[in-house]
Amino acid sequence: MRHILLLGGTTEASALATALATRGEHAVLSYAGRTDHPRAQAIPTRVGGFGGIEGLAEYLTREGVTHLVDATHPFAARISANAIAAAELAGVPLLALTRPAWEAGPGDRWIRVADTAEAVVALGTEAARVFLALGRQTIGDFGHATQHFYLLRFVDPAAPPALPHHHLVVDRGPFTLAGELALLREHRVQVVVAKNAGGSGARAKLDAARALGLPVVMIDRPAIPDRPQASSVAQVLDWLDHRVVRGV
C-alpha cells in the first residue's frame, strides 16, 4: 500500500488532502507549525520541522513513505530544496504541486523587486501609507524604514510588531475585491507590498490596487532547484497512479 507524505501549509495542499481522503489513500499532511490554528484536515497531520535534509530523509524511510508531494508555498524555498535532496537520499519519488506566478496586466503599476530588502528601498524615503501584505516572519526588514505607516494583516493575533506606525488586522483568506477595496480605502493606503504567491486566494488585493491606481511593490519568487511539477490536484492523483504528470 502506498503512503504519501504531503508537505502543506497552502490552499492547494488542503484541496489535495481532501481528494486523498476521498480516495481512501494512506496519507499524512505535514505543517511547519507557523500558525496557531491550522485548518482542520481530512487526513492525519503532523506538525514541526523534520531537522533538515537528513531528518526528512530519515522520516521518509522510517515511516515507509512511498510518495512525497511538496505542496508548500512558493516562498517556502528551504523546505522545497530539502524535499528534493531528501527524496533523492531516501529513494522516494517527489512531485511538487505548484501554482503559476501572477503576471502584471493592463492597469497594473508593479515595481518588481528580488526580496524584502529591495522592497524597503523601493518604498523610498518619503513617508507613505503602506499595505504590507506579508507574513509576520518577513516584516523584519521594514523595521529600518520607520517613516512609513504600515497596514499589516496576519493569520493569527501576534505580539505587536516592532514598527512604530502600524495597524494590525487579523484575518485569513480568501479575500474578496470588495473587502480589499474597503480595507485599502479605510486606511488610505498609497502603496501595496506583496509576494508573488500566485493563486486566487490572495489575488484580490492586486485587483483592488489596480482599481485604485495604486503601485504594488511585487517581490519575486525565490529560486528553487528543478523538480517534477504538477499544477492541479488531478495531475497529482494521476501521478500517484501512473508515475507520470500529464497535461502540464
> How many Å apart are CA 235 and CA 10, to the nearest integer?
17
Half-sphere exposure of 180 (CA within 13 A, CB side): 23
Write out the H or E segment, with its range, that includes residue 122.
helix 116-123
CB of 56 to ligand NAP, least distance (A): 6
Going from the C-alpha of 171 to that of each of 85, 156, 202, 233, the distances in angstroms are: 35, 7, 12, 26
> How many Å apart are CA 148 and CA 137, to the nearest integer?
19
- Among 4, 5, 7, 183, the residue binding ligand NAP under the rule CB under 6 A is 7
Q: Is residue 8 part of the contact set for ligand NAP (CB under 6 A)?
A: yes
In the numeric block, which cell numbers belong to residue 3?
503512503
Q: What character string, x for contact with ligand NAP (CB under 6 A) and - otherwise, covers 213-232? A: --------------------
Q: How many CB atoms lie within 10 A of CB 21?
A: 15
CB of 29 to ligand NAP, least distance (A): 8
- Among 14, 82, 98, 116, the residue binding ligand NAP under the rule CB under 6 A is 82
Q: Is residue 236 part of the contact set for ligand NAP (CB under 6 A)?
A: no
- Among 55, 105, 140, 143, the residue binding ligand NAP under the rule CB under 6 A is 55
Q: Which stretches of the chain bind ligand NAP, using CB under 6 A? A: 7-10, 30-32, 34, 49-52, 55-56, 72-73, 75-79, 82, 135, 137, 195
